[in-house]
Structure 1
Amino acid sequence: MYIVSRPKPLSEGQHQVLTKEDASIYPPGYQRFLQRFGEGTYRGWINVQLPDSEVLRPFAGYGLWECDAESPITERQIGECIAIGTTVDGDYLAVHPQTAGLLWLPRHSEHIKAISLQAWEQKDDGGYALVMDEIYRQVYGSSPKEVVYYEPWTGTRSHLFLRLEPGQGQLSLPELAGACQVDFPPDLFIENPYTCFLFYRQLGGYVRLNYAYQQEVAIFYEQDAGQAFAVLEQWLLSKGCKTIS
């Protein structure tokens, strides 16, 4: 698994809270994953977070999800759930102390989904990344295809947004991505029809080219990687990008 920037260890207080929790209610490897890498975002998809018993409490009375006979939990139990992750789309991954397995509370559906991890019960080997891939498979019906990476929340990340100015003879965004790879070979490369990521350890971050919007370029970098950032910024400006204020 590629780690985008230096992991941010849990504070002593966070560590003590986590170790006091009953490990049996959490998915295999979850606690050790947090202790090793800290909180962050996995594959740009799901946020791995410390247990939060408060965030879902107000939802118990909202009627957002149907809690009929087929629901894995009652509406009252929604407020008792402990959230351990959220997605970029606003879905919640949670556990309930009296309910086996994981619960998926989707942002854009009325039905709470029970996620079974029976095959993982005897595999508590710290492989929470594999567990998250299984969660993805059960939720979306397919396996994630892109490279495995994790982006720790360091609290020291900066960013710069740029716009590739259109014009005659100007590079397209995919062409710009290709030129960047030649001049600055990345440590990790991910590309799909919508976006391209070029990861650099010297940055503690990446260059993101938004193919969907055709013009947006962004640099995400650690604050102590100023020199590497400045070199990439000047190169992008030389290729026709303009800084967005």
Structure 2
Amino acid sequence: MYIVSEPRLLSDGRNQEIAREEAAVYPPGYLRFLQRFGEGTYRGWMNVQLPDTEVLQPFAEYGLWEHDEDSPITEQQIAECITIGTTVDGDFLAVHPKTSGLLWLPRHEERIKAISLQAREDDEDLYAEVLDEIYRQVYGRSQEEAVYYEPWTGTRSHLFLRLPPVQDGLSLPELAGVCQAAFPSDLSIETPYVCLLFYREMGGYVRFNYAYQQEVAVFYEQDAEQAFAVMEAWLLSKGCERIS
């Protein structure tokens, strides 16, 4: 698994709290993953977060999901759930102290889903596999791109640019290819919608948003200003413009 930047480790006090948590309540490797990599975003999809016993409490009164005899929890039990992750689309991943398995509380669907996992050894590296299995069960397909994790460092900066359409100018995919040739990346991910070029010296990556056709974004750590400045100057020289 590629780690985008140096993880922001948990405080000693939070580590001690996690050590006292009842590991059997959580999916395999979850607590140890947090201790090793800290909070962050997995594969641009799932926000891996510290256990939160409060965030779902108000949802027990909202009537967002249907409940019947096949529901894994009652509406009242939503308030007792412990959230351990959220997707970038606003779905919740949670556990309930008296319910085995994981709970998926979708933002845009009406039924809570129970996610069952095969028994696994409690190893932090395996939590990535757990998240991949959750993705398969929820979306019915696998993610084929490289595996990466983006720790929440609190020192991440970003710059947004656009590549305006110019006759005989570079397209966004062409610009991404030229960038990869000029600055060979440590990891690259390309889909029909986006190209990500990761650079350890920046503690971040350059994102070419094919879906929006013109957007380029640079994410970097604040202590990597020199590497960022070189990348910014290069992108500007290729016709990109800063977005104010």
User: Shorter-chain-normalised TM-score: which range?
Assistant: over 0.9
Between 164-173 and 75-84, report the one with greater CA deviation: 164-173
* Residue 126 of structure 2 corresponds to residue 123 of structure 1: no
Q: Which amino acid aligns with 2:231?
A: L
CA deviation string 1:167-205 (max 9, x = no partner): 112100000000000000000000101111000000000
Alignment of 1:96-111 (within 5 A): 96-111=96-111
Gaps of 5+ in 1: none
Give distance in 1, aligned partners of 2:16 and 2:123.
Answer: 21
Give distance in 2, aligned partners of 1:70 and 1:203.
Answer: 49
CA deviation string 1:71-101 (max 9, x = no partner): 0000000010000000000000000000000
Instruction: Report what 1:80 is aligned to.
Output: 80
Q: Which amino acid aligns with 1:47?
A: N
Instruction: Give the TM-score normalised by structure 2.
Output: 0.98
Question: Over the residues paired in the alignment, what is the CA RMSD in angstroms?
Answer: 0.7
Instruction: Report what 2:216 is aligned to.
Output: 217
Instruction: Report what 1:19 is aligned to.
Output: 19
Instruction: Report what 2:160 is aligned to.
Output: 161
CA deviation string 1:120-164 (max 9, x = no partner): x24222210001001111111111111000000000000000010
Instruction: Report what 2:200 is aligned to.
Output: 201
Q: Report the 3-state secondary structure (helix = DSSP H, G, I; strand = E; otherwise coil) of the residue aligned with 2:80.
A: coil
Give distance in 2, aligned partners of 1:11 and 1:209.
Answer: 35
Instruction: Report what 1:37 is aligned to.
Output: 37
TM-aligned CA deviation for residue 217 of structure 1: 0.3
Give distance in 1, aligned partners of 2:70 and 2:48.
Answer: 28
- Number of paired residues? 243
Instruction: Report what 2:182 is aligned to.
Output: 183
Between 125-134 and 224-233, report the one with greater CA deviation: 125-134
Instruction: Report what 1:150 is aligned to.
Output: 149
Give distance in 2, aligned partners of 1:155 and 1:122.
Answer: 32
TM-aligned CA deviation for residue 19 of structure 1: 1.3
Give distance in 1, aligned partners of 2:135 and 2:97.
Answer: 22
What is the percentage of aligned positions where both structures have the same residue? 74
Gaps of 5+ in 2: none
Instruction: Report what 1:170 is aligned to.
Output: 169
Give distance in 1, aligned partners of 2:214 and 2:3.
Answer: 27
Q: Which amino acid aligns with 2:110?
A: E
Instruction: Report what 2:69 is aligned to.
Output: 69
Give distance in 1, aligned partners of 2:219 and 2:123.
Answer: 32
Q: Which amino acid aligns with 2:85?
A: G
Runs of 4+ in structure 1 deviating by more than 3 angstroms, as ranges, are none
Give distance in 2, aligned partners of 1:125 and 1:30.
Answer: 8
